[in-house]
A and B are shown apart, each in its own frame.
Chain A
Amino acid sequence: MADEDNSSDRVDNETPKPEKMFTLKKWNAVAMWSWDVECDTCAICRVQVMDACLRCQAESKAGSGRQDCVVVWGECNHSFHYCCMSLWVKQNNRCPLCQQEWSIQRMGK
């Protein structure tokens, strides 16, 4: 009991304290992933790239939209829905935004 009284006294006058008062043991973090794109909207279908493209939505394959409807980046670093782009290149093998020859730099995974 005496110890306690002492300690409380000491609090009032700048008490010494343990080496480390608080230690972080566990951290439950939350992170949100999205495609690493310059522009959020696909220039071809005008739908956000995070959502399935308009045609895929229309097919309404419930829940499977994301896996099928990935994003593709060109060498020019412009990005579109893969579905939209593969239709586009049949008519015109150029990037719809910068008119450069279209070649795939990487695919979303």
Chain B
Amino acid sequence: MSNHIRGRIVGREDSENSPVQKRTLLSAEYPGSKKLKLADEMTDTANQKRPNFSALSTSPNGINKTASLVNTKPGAAKKLVIKNLKEKPKLPENYEEQTWEKLKEAVIAIQTSKSIRYSLEELYQAVENMCNHKMASHLYLNLTTLAEQHVKANIQQFMAESMDRHFFLKKMNECWQSHCRQMIMIRSIFLYLDRTYVLQNPTIHSIWDMGLEMFRHHIVMNTLVQTRCVDGLLMLIEKERQGDAVDTTLLKSLLRMLSDLQIYQEAFESKFLLATERLYAAEGQRLMQEHDVPEYLAHVNKRLAEENERLLHYLDSSTKWALIHTVEKQLLTEHLTAVLQKGLDLLLEENRISDLCLLYKLFTRVKTGLQELCTNFNAYIKKKGRTIVIDPEKDKTMVQELLDFKEKMDNIVSKCFQSNEKFSNSLKEAFEQFINQRTNKPAELIAKFVDSKLRAGNKEASEEELERLLDKIMVLFRFIHGKDVFEAFYKKDLAKRLLVGKSASVDAEKSMLSKLKQECGGGFTSKLEGMFKDMELSKDINVAFRQYMSNARTAHLLNTIDLTVSILTMGYWPTYVAMDVTLPAEMVQYQNFFNRFYLGKHSGRKLQWQPTLGHCLLKAEFPQGRKELQVSLFQALVLLLFNQADNITFEEIKAATNIEDGELRRTLQSLACGKARVLQKTPRGREVENNDVFAYDSQFTNKLCRIKINQIQMKETNEEQKATEERVFQDRQYQIDAAIVRIMKMRKTLSHNLLISELYNILKFPVKPADLKKRIESLIDRDYMERDKDTTNQYNYVT
């Protein structure tokens, strides 16, 4: 029924603009009614002339008579002359009164739901006749009065003292529905009136509109009725919001009524929005207290969905923006900060992907939502990152934690925050900020982490996995300001890997190097590349040396030692402590051979042997069997002493080898207290004392044929750390110098400030302006540049 009314209303609205459209609409609605079709035709533009003709056709003096004339003389060929009527046909005197009585009766019958005595056709004809006889205005007036009386009478039922709201609404709905039904019927009968008289007088309401107007004026505009009705509706909606099932058809019908009567906005909407606001304001406050954030967000989401349903089911769609906006404002905007402060950290911490997705989705709805979310996201990363980085006790796991943390955050940005660029930038900014809160250490640990992954024996990763891991590390590396600190430590570890041949894969090493080069440029990696080059050159040199030895007269050598020398370029490699040790005569002999060979090839060079880095393979003739021992040079020197004596004291060993005290103690410890104990120490005990006596273990057995005796690593002391850092600082001075010269050479003349700002662009490590000033002073002293004589604060390049 309500659909039907709706359709009517649309038709009505349209009809005000185009009568043609109205015709098609109506004929579509009543396809079976010939009469209506007829009426349609009459609405044509020619209908002003039509009335006269049709008046003739219906009058008793009209066509009927002529027809009978024709019938009485069939076949006669007579001339038919048509003359004007002598006198105008007249209506019966009381025609108007009688007809109106008839119509009135019918209307009242409709209004009281009784059957109509006359056929609809007859009534329609009556209306048409009245219209055509200029009684339209009278007819319209009468009809209006009749309708008004009826509607007025209807109000009584709503005025009762107390009335159940639901019952009231039902009654209201009934009344409205029947009013519509009646008006449709009435309009059908009075259609001709509607089409002619009403259409020609723009000031007059169509019959339908008149009906609505009556209903509005007499029933709904009544303060009591309106308040009751609207309050009732609000009550039903509130009930539904509380989760009760309500009669949505009733709601829908009544709300349609309000909008049909065009009082939806003034009477209902504002009150409804106010109620919504009040409800959700209270709910927001309460639920924020009671629920944790994910629950709250889920609730908000549910509420929004519900309100959208409501819009779909019964609210007028014009309310949509205001309603949703109100809900968003009360449930989200008001609580943005609280939600973020209370819940974001936890959600991020626990990696609650779906909750975060929802959070993002909801926050996109409100104006500053994403901005606030981004700020808080950034703050969380900084806070969390700081705890990873700052605590020295967590140094061991720092890099792995950083990698995990980065991956987790990346995942959240891509999955929950729709890869929003603002968020990924903020993520980067936050990482860069916190990772540099602790100077040097993260750089150092990243370098060591890379070392642990590139070192042989790290079998946890395949080539591709390793490659991917290195890429991830490079991302962390990018955040670090003191890249040279990384380089220094990386270099130290790389040296160890290269010299001991412990590198897991040359490809991985090269790939890491090229990544660094890509990131920081060739200047950064030139020394590292130099180290690889040294290793390759050393291979060639050793081939040449073997050649040299076979040609030289070496037959007088007691036994042949297979000597391989790695030649390192000073400056490329980390600096090692120079140590003079006493080598056995045969080793000295070999060393001299090599010196002669090498310096003969390269003039102007000198060689410094690095005993700390050497290692040897010893053949050992134990009574239980022959073993091969893989040892450091120091271990070898100590063991070789036992060829001459059986028991040797610590002091004697020290005098014979000249190995530095601490180093020697560690060496002896590794031989006598380690896993494979080649030496026996008296008295037993871990610490090596000055009076200890050592003897080789004649009972030594081991499953393996070739045994590696591990060295005991000195723990990296603070001093060593400082030394590396000091070296970094020194290098920075040179880099600053080089950068200044490079800039000045290009610009020739430059003001102080511009020079400083260009330097900051170039230099890859943090520097203070004061340090830069010192370097500029120093370069001026060395005549690389000069102060301009005329302009202060300006420098000229000196060629």
Contact = CB atoms under 8 A, between A and B. Distances in A.
A11 B587 CA distance: 30
B561 A57 contact: no
B699 A11 contact: yes
Interface stretch (B274-282, B400-408, B602-610): B602-610
Given A17-B646, A25-B618, A62-B526, A33 B569 contact: yes
Interface string A53-93: 01101101011011000010100000000000000000000
B295 to A, nearest CB: 59
Interface stretch (B102-110, B420-428, B502-510, B734-742): B734-742
Interface string A17-48: 11011111111111111111000000001111
Contacts of A73: 604
Contacts of A29: 563-566, 591, 594, 609-610, 614, 633
Interface in B522-555: 522-523, 525-526, 529-530, 533
A11 B609 contact: no
Nearest to B799: A87
Size bracket, chain A contacts: 35 or more
Given A21-B620, A32-B608, A51 B568 contact: no
Interface stretch (B186-194, B228-236, B634-642): B634-642
Contact of B604 (A11, A31, A35): A35
Quick one: which of A26, A66, A106 has the most chain B CB within 10 A? A26
A44 to B, nearest CB: 9
Contact of A32 (B607, B617, B640, B734): B607
Contact of A66 (B530, B591, B602, B616): B530
B63 interface: no
Size bracket, chain B contacts: 35 or more
B570 A50 contact: yes
Contact of A109 (B567, B594, B603, B640): B603
A55 to B, nearest CB: 7
B642 to A, nearest CB: 5
Contact of A31 (B523, B526, B608, B742): B608
Nearest to A64: B526
A24 B603 contact: no
B566 A26 contact: no
A24 B618 contact: yes
Contacts of B734: 47, 51, 57
Contacts of B617: 24-27
Contacts of A8: 698-699
A25 B633 contact: no
A80 to B, nearest CB: 12
A11 B622 CA distance: 12
Given A17-B646, A30-B613, A50-B571, A35 B605 contact: yes
A31 B603 contact: no
14 contacts: A21-B696, A24-B561, A25-B618, A29-B564, A29-B610, A31-B565, A31-B568, A32-B576, A32-B609, A50-B569, A54-B738, A54-B741, A58-B739, A66-B530
